[in-house]
Amino acid sequence: MTTVLLPGEDIPASHLPNPKKGGALTLGPGLRHVPPATISSTTAGTLHVDHKKAALWLDAPHGRYQPAAGDLVIAQVHHSSAESFSCSLTPHTPFVLLGQLSFEGASKKTRPMLKAGDLVYGRVSRASKWEDTEIECFNSATGKSEGMGPLKGGMLFHVSPAFARRLMMGTDKDGRSKGGVVVLEEVGEKVRFEVAVGRNGKVWVDSGSIKETLTIGRLLVQCDEAGWDEDAQRKMVKKGLKDV
């Protein structure tokens, strides 16, 4: 059952996940804790709950993205200094900082030579109201890139942050999309491509073909704007790839 909340509404206790012993709830966008034990909404949106991770958040269809630690994002380099790159996540958020050495195996000699306009796929490592938001393009715990780093070639498409979150939710144990978006799975059965999805509402696609890449990106944007159900997505993917 879908739960839609308005700003200032309290979330019923029956909707809250139960953290493991000694654990705590993780609150995502659109929610705040009101001591001692009330969780309320700060915006209008649809409530989502991940019981395994004891996490909950609100998806606002046309809400703006606000950086949160741990988010995977696609950032565009704006300018650089000796220590870091200043990057844009959205037109509505301040620049975030990406360290010059925040890449797998990077040193002063081997670091990526990025210029204004270049795209990177990274993770928000620090998000604070009082300090500059920071991102990194590797897992600082393992030193591995884990798919993060500069994005070369391809095309960038813009979707709503709520749709991006749905794209990133993955599949359940039966292989069904948790977010109800099957566009990429359907396309993948017919076309080979690479994709990176940013929680900030950006999707990078590269199939090696301009026509295919454009088709995939447009299908995602149209799905977001039109709100296609899974059957409609399959139908539109089949139609969209017919002449590719």
Q: Quick check: is 63 in a domain?
A: no
Domain shared by 165 and 104, yes or no: no
- Look up the pTM and report it: 0.79
191 touches 216 (CB < 8 A):
yes
**More confidently predicted of 84 and 22:** 84
Per-residue confidence (pLDDT) for residue 68, from 0 to 100: 87
Q: Examine the fold and report which residue of 151, 185, 216 is the final residue of a domain before the chain moves on.
A: 151
Domain shared by 145 and 159, yes or no: no
CATH number of the domain at 169, please. 3.30.1370.10
Q: Examine the fold and report which residue of 92, 122, 151 is the final residue of a domain before the chain moves on.
A: 151
Long-range contacts (CB closer than 8 Å, 24 or more residues apart) made by 213-217: 213/154, 213/155, 214/155, 215/240, 215/241, 215/244, 216/183, 216/184, 216/187, 216/191, 217/155, 217/157
Q: Quick check: is 89 in a domain?
A: yes
Q: Quick check: is 1 in a domain?
A: yes
Q: Is pLDDT at 127 greater than 80 in this prediction?
A: yes
Domain shared by 129 and 145, yes or no: yes
54 touches 20 (CB < 8 A):
yes
- Using alpha carbons, list the distances in angstroms from residue 74 to 136, 168, 207, 231: 11, 13, 18, 29
CATH number of the domain at 28, please. 2.40.50.100
CA 217 to chain centre: 15
User: 116 lies in which domain range?
Assistant: 69-151
| Phi–psi pair at 162, nearest 5 degrees | -65, -40
DSSP character at residue 21: T
Structural domain count, the chain: 3
Q: Examine the fold and report which residue of 34, 57, 80 is the final residue of a domain before the chain moves on.
A: 57
- pLDDT band for 62, please (50, 70, 90 cuts): low
- pLDDT band for 151, please (50, 70, 90 cuts): very high
- pLDDT band for 134, please (50, 70, 90 cuts): very high
**More confidently predicted of 162 and 87:** 87
